[in-house]
C-alpha cells in the first residue's frame, strides 16, 4: 500500500479500507469503484492508490496501471450493460486525488447531449475556428513537440 496517503482524502481512506466502496477491479497501483453519485448505471471511478492530485503527475507505471484498469473496467461495463460507448473524463479538481470517470453513455442521455452541445460550440466561435487554421495547428504542434519531459 502506498505510504503517502492523505488522511483527509476520501479516496485514500477507501484505498486503506477505512471507507466503504463498491470495488470493481484493482491491481497493486490502481482501484476501480462505483461512483456514489452515478451519472448512469455502472458509472465507475478509477483511482491511483497513491495520493496524486493530477493523473499526468503519476509515474509511468501508475499511468499504465490506471489506464489498464480503465480498459478492463470499460470492457466489463460494455459486456454487462451494453451502452453505446464509455465516456472517459479525467477529474481531480473537486476531490484533489486523480480519478478517471468511466460513464456508460447512450444516445440522447445527459452526457451525450452535453458533448453534442460542446461539439456544436467547438465548431462555432471564431476564436475556436482559428485554432483549426493550418498555421495555428503547425505552431501548436511545434510548441508541444518541442517540450521536453523527463
pLDDT (tens digit per residue) in 21-41:
999 999 999 999 999 999 999
Q: What is the pLDDT of residue 117?
A: 84
> Based on the domain organization, do 90 and 20 belong to the same domain?
yes
> Based on the domain organization, do 127 and 101 belong to the same domain?
no
CB-based contact 50:97 (threshold 8 Å): no
> Based on the domain organization, do 66 and 24 belong to the same domain?
yes
> Based on the domain organization, do 39 and 100 belong to the same domain?
yes
> Based on the domain organization, do 78 and 50 belong to the same domain?
yes
Mean pLDDT score of the chain: 89
DSSP classification of residue 5: -
Residue 73's CB is within 10 A of a number of other CB atoms, namely 23
> Based on the domain organization, do 97 and 134 belong to the same domain?
no
Minimal CA–CA distance to 149: which of 63, 47, 40? 63
Q: Which domain holds residue 111?
A: 107-150
> Based on the domain organization, do 124 and 50 belong to the same domain?
no
- Please state the rounded mean pLDDT for residues 126-144: 81
Q: What is the pLDDT of residue 144?
A: 87
pLDDT-derived band at 131 (thresholds 50, 70, 90) equals confident
Question: In 3-state terms, what secondary structure has residue 86?
Answer: strand
How far is CA 129 from its chain centroid? 27
Taking the C-alpha atoms of residue 20 and residue 18, their distance in angstroms, rounded to an integer, is 7
Q: What is the pLDDT of residue 124?
A: 62
> Based on the domain organization, do 37 and 94 belong to the same domain?
yes
Amino acid at each position: 500500500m502506498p505510504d503517502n496517503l492523505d488522511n483527509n482524502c476520501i479516496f485514500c481512506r477507501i484505498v486503506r479500507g477505512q471507507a466503504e466502496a463498491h470495488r470493481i477491479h484493482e491491481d497493486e497501483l490502481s482501484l476501480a469503484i462505483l461512483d456514489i453519485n452515478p451519472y448512469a448505471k455502472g458509472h465507475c471511478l478509477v483511482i491511483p492508490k497513491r495520493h496524486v492530485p493530477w493523473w499526468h503527475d503519476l509515474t509511468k507505471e501508475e499511468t499504465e496501471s490506471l489506464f489498464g484498469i480503465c480498459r478492463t473496467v470499460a470492457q466489463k461495463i460494455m459486456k454487462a450493460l451494453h451502452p453505446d460507448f464509455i465516456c472517459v473524463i479525467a477529474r481531480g479538481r473537486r476531490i484533489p486525488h486523480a480519478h478517471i470517470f468511466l460513464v456508460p453513455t447512450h444516445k440522447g442521455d445527459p452526457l451525450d447531449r452535453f458533448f453534442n452541445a460542446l461539439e456544436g460550440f467547438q465548431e462555432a466561435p471564431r476564436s475556436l475556428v482559428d485554432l483549426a487554421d493550418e498555421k495555428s495547428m503547425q505552431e501548436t504542434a511545434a510548441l508541444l513537440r518541442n517540450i521536453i519531459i523527463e
